[in-house]
Every structure is written in structure tokens, then in C-alpha cells.
Amino acid sequence: MRVPKALKKGDTIGLIGASSPTPPENLPKAIEAIEKLGFNVVVGETCRERHGYLAGKDELRAREVNEMFGNPDIDGIFCIRGGYGADRILPLLDLELIKANPKVFAGYSDVTALHIVFNQLCDLVTFHSPMPSTEFIKEGMDEYTWNSFLSHMMDTESNNYFLENAEGSEMNTLVPGEAIGQLVGGNLTLVVASLGTPYEIDTKGKILFLEDIDEYERSIDRMLTQLKLAGKLDDAAGFLLGAWTNCGPQNPEKPEQSLSLQTIFEELLVPAGKPILSDITCGHCLPTLTLPLGKTLSINTETKTIKVIG
């Protein structure tokens, strides 16, 4: 895997919109938040564009990704927000150019589509992280989240360290055991959307991280079932389960008509017999952990530890 060069204060960040448009009032706040970290900012055209529910047409969003990777004056690339649309630009990306110009690439949610491609087809370590027009500008952005983000951005090559939950948040064991594998995954909806495409996620021997937001429990059931039927759960070495924000029953007043997420995990993930840690503080939540996708992890679900080893 290609590990991108660490960022340092004074470096230039390319800010892009690969998915949904950025609310105009959030852009100056996002720029200010990045500058307060000590970075310079080059604002992509997509941060100001709107094409319906997209941050500009597919050709523009893809071209901007390619240009940011190809521009030697850009040291790192932050996706300003998620939403929808990153998977539409995948066929338009210059993967050879991206592979030849490894840079810090950060974001999450809809950005999962890009993470999968960059990890698998460009051999590039990328970062599942909070984003400038969402978490960066929230009043609830906390020290744990900032520290996790900055430590990964500014020290990309370190290994032999632990990924730990925020204080007061305990990981839980669904299946005991140990596993070693490359970290892959992200948002469950985007992981499932990759199936049957040239960009399908490879989970063989990997540690699969999953999270999601605003999905009914039966939707989580359906997507995990699809991963199961596609062989992706049996292929994985282990699982890390993050936040499932606003993922609940369609009719909360009639819980007997639904299944809890815990029950769904026990019925669909546990039978695979792979080590599973749940309640990782990562996803559509604050505090949130930054994850180095593409790096190799060692997980021990009995001691509830996650270690980056390579």
C-alpha cells in the first residue's frame, strides 16, 4: 500500500465536493476551520456548484478529483461533505494518475465509494474522517475528534498504535477472538452499492468496518443480508461496527413489528464466526475516530483492542 506523505502546517489542502452541494453559508466556515489548523486552502469549483442534488455535473466533480491529485502544489485533499453522488464519478477517474500521486485523502459517508476504489485500485491508504462543512464547524467538535484526525493527517507512516474509543464509550464484543487484516469499508449503504460493479469491495482476509445513518432496521437487515449472500461476510477476517445514527424501527410505537440492531447483528454477522467488536465511536457521530483505511490492523475482541500494525 502507498502511504501518503504526512501533512504539516503550511501545507495546502485541496477542498472538493465529490458528492452533494455545500450549503453556501457553510463554505466560509469550513475554510476558516481548515486555516485554523495551520493549512492553506485551495477551494475547488465543486464547493460552490450545484447540479440538483449534486455538487456539479459528474464531469466536473471527476475532473476536480483528478486535478487535485495531479497538482504538485496540493499536499492533501479533503472532501468538504458527503451526501450522494461519489459513485457516479468512478468511471471518470484517472486511476493511474491518482496511483502515481499518493496524497492524504480524507472524508467519510458517501466518500466511502472513493475510499474503496483508492484502496483497491490505487493501493492508497486513505482516511475515514470528519469533514470540513459538517463536523469541523459544529459546536460539538471535541478534543478527542480533533486529536484523532490531526494525528492521522500529520503522522501517516506510524504503526504500532492503538485505535481507542472516546473516554466513557466502551467497545463491546459480539464474537470473541483475534484477527489480523487490512482495514476496509465505511458506510454500509455505499459498501453494498459497490456489489456487482467493477469497483466491488474485496473483503477477503480483511477487517470490515461498517456504519450508517437514517436507515430503518429492516434496511440494515437487507443490506447485511446482501453482503452475506455475496459471500462478503464469510470472506472477512473480522468486523468493526461503528455508529448507527438514527437507525431504528419504522414504527417505534410497535417494536414487536421490528428487530433490534443487536438481534440483526446476532442473526446475520455472528454466524460467520469471525471476531466482532461493536460500538466503535466512528461514523455519523461526535466524538468520532479517524480510521486509516488500507492499513493492517490486529483486533482482539476479548481485550477489546484495535492496533494498527502495518
Catalytic residue numbers, as ranges = 109, 211, 284
State the cell numbers at 59.
Answer: 464531469
Contacts of 198 (CB under 8 A, 6+ apart): none
**Measured between alpha carbons, how far is residue 260 from residues 223, 239, 266 in Å?**
15, 19, 10
Q: What are phi and psi of 123, to 5 degrees?
A: 55, 40
Contacts of 124 (CB under 8 A, 6+ apart): 1, 2, 4, 98, 99, 102, 105, 118, 294
Residue with cell 467538535: 141
Q: Write the Ramachandran bin of 137: left for phi over 0, alpha for psi from -120 to 50, otherwise beta.
A: alpha
Q: Collect all residues with Cβ–Cβ distance below 8 Å to 103 and sequence separation of at least 6.
A: 4, 5, 68, 69, 74, 75, 76, 77
Distances (CA, A) of 106 to 93, 126, 149, 170, 198: 17, 6, 9, 26, 22
First to last CA, the chain: 10
- Name the one residue in this structure whose C-alpha cell is 496511483: 99
State the sign of the Cα–Cα–Cα–Cα dihedral 143, 148, 151, 152.
negative
Coil/strand/helix, residue 230: coil
